């Protein structure tokens, strides 16, 4: 078992921690240029380019007719799932919906002391594109997590794009899409699907925002079309930090492996004051890896990016957590709430030994689309807010204009914007300025 052991007692701890967190994900040579070429071709040739790239890279004879899936076809996929699949997805969808319903906002207005009426209006986006990985590497839970907040927000048009490698369609993804309210779906993926959603490639419609996980080409395509459309985030590999003083070593090891098995670039870190607990977890990691089907990926992840960190006290642990700003933070502590109060930067916090991160991945309710690679310092989980645009409202009465206008005109003149000043002064004078 190969995993870093760090201690805050070591004189080089800060340097070692910084090295651990330098987790830049290597991008294959030419990804940016290739994605730019794909986007340019889709803008120029539309659906013909999308189909050409799909045939080349996904290995099936995609045609305009064959890539389109109607709501009725999504319903058929849902009905074809076995009862166990439907029951689990229905429970997950209900819990995700109930959680996100609490995030909805209402329009508001107030009148201030000058008589000026101020407010804000919240309106859903018109159309959202949801990217879902397809084939064998398919995640129906991600479809629910991305589509349901959009539906709760009131988005009328939710469009799914998902690749069908060698023509293989994953029924779980399509069934989840039906359950989550997706109206239309297209069997295309990669950068060409992102470009089609950003610029329109009939029958694939142009949308206002693109959400959902994907490979390096999808992530780079989202980066390049941002500004033409909105995006959720540029997501990096999954990560978890566990702060523990209790809990069975087997549980904690499984939680670390649950992240490590995602990707060789995923990161799993365990922090504790108890060296014996760290030793026991290391032994359990070795034992579980011997039987884990995803051991090759998990072992590489732990060797490259994993760590067991011994701290002298919980204040040190909190400082390290805030330095990392993890996507997922598990607190296997007797006073998990007390520790959580010290945390400023984390995508999601899981309180107590009976709250593994895997519960949040599927059906607890909060969204599992979270900021990674330290971006929890300034980013938030996907929510209903991501599918709503805000418009400010302002109405000034003559009294309000008389109270505020002279100051606005003064600032306008100080900025050298004389027409701005005129716009206010003419009204204050009550007649055209000669």
The pLDDT tens digits for 360-371 are 999 999 999 999
Instruction: Express the helix, strand and coil content of the chain in percent, nearest 5 each.
Output: 45, 15, 35
Q: Which domain holds residue 245?
A: 236-378
- pLDDT tens digits, one per residue of 92-117: 999 999 999 999 999 999 999 999 99
Residue 20 placed within a domain: no
Residue 139 placed within a domain: yes
Q: Are residues 261 and 185 in the same domain?
A: no
Residue 51 placed within a domain: yes
Q: Are residues 226 and 251 in the same domain?
A: no
DSSP label at 345? -
Confidence of residue 434 (pLDDT cuts 50, 70, 90): very low
Give all strands (DSSP E) within 347-431, no chain letters. Answer: 348-351, 388-395
- pLDDT tens digits, one per residue of 326-385: 999 999 999 999 999 999 999 999 999 999 999 999 999 999 999 999 999 999 999 999
- Whether 256 shows a pLDDT value over 80: the answer reads yes
Number of domains present in the structure of the chain: 3
Give the residue numbers annotated as catalytic, written as ranges. Answer: 327-328
State whether the Cα torsion 344-347-260-280 is positive or negative.
positive
- Angle, CA 247 vertex, CA 344 and CA 372 arms, to 5°: 35
Q: Are residues 204 and 254 in the same domain?
A: no
pLDDT at 136: 59
Q: Are residues 152 and 282 in the same domain?
A: no
Joined together, the tokens standing for residue 175 give: 């069934």
Phi, psi of 25 (to 5 degrees): -85, 120
Q: Are residues 349 and 421 in the same domain?
A: no
Of 306, 309, 322, the closest CA to residue 272 belongs to 309
Examine the fold and report which residue of 231, 249, 270 is the final residue of a domain before the chain moves on. 231
Q: Is 180 helix (H, G, I), strand (E, B) or coil?
A: coil
Burial 193-210 (b: 16+ CB within 10 A, else e): bbbbbbbbbeebbbbbbb
Joined together, the tokens standing for residue 328 give: 């997922």
Q: Are residues 334 and 414 in the same domain?
A: no
Residue the block writes with tokens 């204050």: 428
Give me the percent of the chain exceeding a pLDDT of 90: 91
Q: Are residues 206 and 336 in the same domain?
A: no
Q: Do strands 127-131 and 267-272 pair parallel, antiparallel, or not at all (unpaired)?
A: unpaired
- pLDDT tens digits, one per residue of 219-242: 999 999 999 999 999 888 899 999
Examine the fold and report which residue of 198, 231, 264 is the final residue of a domain before the chain moves on. 231
pLDDT at 137: 65
Q: Are residues 354 and 305 in the same domain?
A: yes
Q: Are residues 73 and 39 in the same domain?
A: yes
pLDDT at 215: 87
pTM over cut 0.75: yes
If you average pLDDT over every residue of the chain, what do you get? Answer: 95
pLDDT at 138: 78
Residue 8 placed within a domain: no
**Using an 8 Å Cβ cutoff, are 47 and 196 in contact?**
yes
pLDDT at 433: 46
Q: Are residues 415 and 274 in the same domain?
A: no
């Amino acid at each position: 078992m190969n995993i870093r052991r760090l201690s805050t007692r070591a004189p080089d701890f800060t340097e070692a921690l910084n090295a651990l967190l330098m987790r830049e994900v290597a991008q294959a040579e030419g990804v940016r240029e290739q994605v730019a070429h794909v986007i340019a071709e889709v803008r120029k040739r539309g659906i013909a380019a999308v189909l050409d790239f799909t045939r080349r890279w996904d290995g099936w004879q995609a045609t305009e007719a064959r890539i389109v899936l109607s709501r009725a076809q999504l319903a058929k996929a849902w009905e074809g799932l076995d009862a166990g699949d439907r029951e689990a997805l229905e429970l997950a969808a209900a819990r995700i919906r109930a959680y996100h319903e609490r995030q909805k906002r209402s329009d508001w207005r107030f009148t201030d002391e000058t008589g000026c009426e101020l407010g804000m209006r919240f309106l859903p986006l018109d159309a959202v594109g949801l990217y879902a990985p397809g084939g064998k590497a398919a995640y129906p839970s991600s479809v629910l997590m991305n589509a349901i907040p959009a539906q709760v927000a009131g988005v009328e048009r939710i469009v799914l794009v998902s690749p069908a490698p060698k023509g293989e369609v994953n029924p779980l993804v399509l069934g989840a899409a039906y359950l989550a309210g997706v109206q239309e779906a297209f069997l295309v993926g990669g950068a060409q699907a992102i470009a089609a959603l950003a610029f329109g490639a009939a029958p694939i419609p142009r949308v206002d925002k693109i959400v959902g996980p994907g490979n390096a080409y999808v992530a780079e395509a989202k980066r390049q079309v941002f500004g033409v459309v909105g995006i959720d985030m540029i997501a990096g590999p999954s990560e978890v930090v566990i702060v523990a003083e209790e809990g069975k070593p087997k549980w904690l090891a499984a939680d670390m492996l649950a992240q490590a098995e995602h990707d060789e670039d995923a990161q799993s870190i365990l922090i504790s004051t108890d060296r014996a607990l760290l030793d026991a977890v290391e032994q359990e990691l070795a034992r579980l890896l011997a039987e884990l089907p995803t051991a090759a990926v998990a072992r590489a992840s732990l060797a490259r990016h994993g760590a067991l960190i011994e701290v002298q006290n919980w204040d040190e642990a909190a400082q390290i957590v805030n330095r990392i700003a993890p996507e997922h933070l598990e607190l296997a502590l007797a006073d998990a709430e007390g520790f959580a109060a010290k945390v400023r930067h984390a995508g999601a916090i899981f309180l107590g030994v009976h709250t593994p991160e895997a519960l949040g991945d599927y059906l607890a309710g909060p969204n599992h689309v979270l900021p990674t690679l330290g971006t929890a310092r300034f980013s938030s989980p996907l929510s209903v807010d991501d599918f709503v645009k805000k418009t400010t409202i302002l109405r000034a009465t003559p009294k309000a204009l008389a109270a505020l206008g002279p100051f606005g005109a003064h600032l306008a003149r100080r900025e050298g914007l004389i027409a701005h000043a005129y716009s206010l002064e003419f009204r204050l004078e009550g007649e055209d300025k000669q």
